[in-house]
Amino acid sequence: MGFISLVVAGFCELGFVVLLKKSKGFRLKSYGILSMIVMGMSLYLLSIASKTIPIGTAYAIWAGIGASASVLWGMIFFGESRSFKKIIFVTLIIIGVVGLKLTSH
């Protein structure tokens, strides 16, 4: 259950980032408010996950999921650059997340 909460928390972080961008610097209040709600959900789920996963591992996985998903989302949906180097480094983040999962417990 802890790892499922952690993965959902990581993708909630992606939701936070997407909504934050859509809020245009909180000028569009509804997106800004939704971004804060989704981030609150993300932190809550991270706290649930940290009951069964060491906090350092949980935080690193959470941040890795959020960061890599945000970069990929930006490249696919927001037209951000798709350089070879960027893809390599996102791949390294994903490898690190998988490695942490495999070595936890």
Residue 49 DSSP class: H
**What digits encode the pLDDT tens for the residues 36-62?**
999 999 999 999 999 999 999 999 999
Predicted TM-score (pTM) of the model is 0.90
Joined tokens for residue 25: 């610097």
Q: What pLDDT was estimated at residue 105?
A: 65
Residues of the chain with pLDDT under 70: 105
Q: What pLDDT was estimated at residue 1?
A: 86
| Residue 95 contacts residue 60 (beta carbons within 8 Å) | no
